[in-house]
Amino acid sequence: MPCLADLLRLQTAAGVEAVETPEQWQRRRAQIQSAFRAIAGEPPIATPLDLETRVEATHVGEGYTRYRVSYAVDVGERVPAWLLVPEGLKEPVPGILCPHQTTPLGKDEPAGLGGEPAYAYARDLAQRGFVTLTPDHVSAGERCTPGLRHYDTADLYRRYPEWSAVGKTIWDLQRGLDFLEQRPEVRADRLGMIGHSLGAHSTVFTAGADERVHCAVSSCGVTTFAGDDRRLEWARDHWYQYLPRLRPIFLGGQPAPFDFHELVALIAPRPFLNLTALNDECFASTDAVAELTLRVNRVYRMLGAEERFSCYFHGNRHSFPAEARALAFAWLERWLQSD
């Protein structure tokens, strides 16, 4: 089993010191953020644009209204999304951003418009009283580049050669948070995120980067680079290219400058639930998630927030089984619906 870097050790000019206070953790956290940004890239877009929100269609569902909306994320680039608003609201309620997994359906699956019912979490949460937003991922759904496969990021790298698909995803999802903040139905101080697979690690990346995410849930999205003999999947030179700057590092046999336990720890002390399959066929290093869990737990404990981190292991492979969904929805209700 790989040995992951100690989250409670801080490298300083004078050497290494133990992280024992929230102030020291902020310094350690800044080091992780810096290492991550060096690989993910900085946004080439100077400042967020006016969203120029459009509501383009409306449909009444079972217990909610579904709006087809879009908003600007760059000059000449808009993100289409489904906004689901519970019926009968008398006051603002928490809003949840629901990125989708790797499916040609894109945003339609979380909204319950196709695919597997287990992944219709935007619809299910709207029926539980949350406002939910599920946008198309870059290069997916309506954002697929004509002539390319779904999730082929070639066009993204032509436009932003020094950025990354992960960096672009964070940027786009942050604009989704902007959108939710501006909705009159939403409590801007109670924003959450939930996702499965691609949507899950997109949730981890975004929640770690943006403290507006009050609570987050990841289903089958957390792994480790250490101990993963397929880690080059995170640094492909074709199709969906997550983090190209990792490629020469991995090809050279070197460790990544950060690992997933560090990215998860960026969320602390905010509530985070990790749902993981110990037999997940998409990740070669599932055993290491046990070590990841222990190391992240120590950060939450040091910050006095141990009850805000939890992990559920199951044996249902790369899926979102009923018991995991029940835990996820209860977690979001606990941390977003209580003051």
Distance CA 176, CA 146 (A): 24
Collapse the DSSP code of 17 into the 3-class scheme (helix H, G, I; strand E, B; otherwise coil) and give the result: strand
pTM of the model: 0.97
Output the tens digit of pLDDT for each of the chain's 339 residues: 458 999 999 999 889 999 999 999 999 999 999 999 999 999 998 788 899 999 999 999 899 999 999 999 999 999 999 999 999 999 999 999 999 999 999 999 999 999 999 999 999 999 999 999 999 999 999 999 999 999 999 999 999 999 999 999 999 999 999 999 999 999 999 999 999 999 999 999 999 999 999 999 999 999 999 989 999 999 999 999 999 999 999 999 999 999 999 999 999 999 999 999 999 999 877 778 999 999 999 999 999 999 999 999 999 999 999 999 999 999 999 999 987
Domains defined along the chain, listed by start: 9-336 (3.40.50.1820)
DSSP 253: T
The size of the chain, in residues, is 339
Q: How far apart are CA 296 and CA 261, in angstroms?
A: 6
Residue 199 phi/psi, 5-degree rounding, is -65, -25
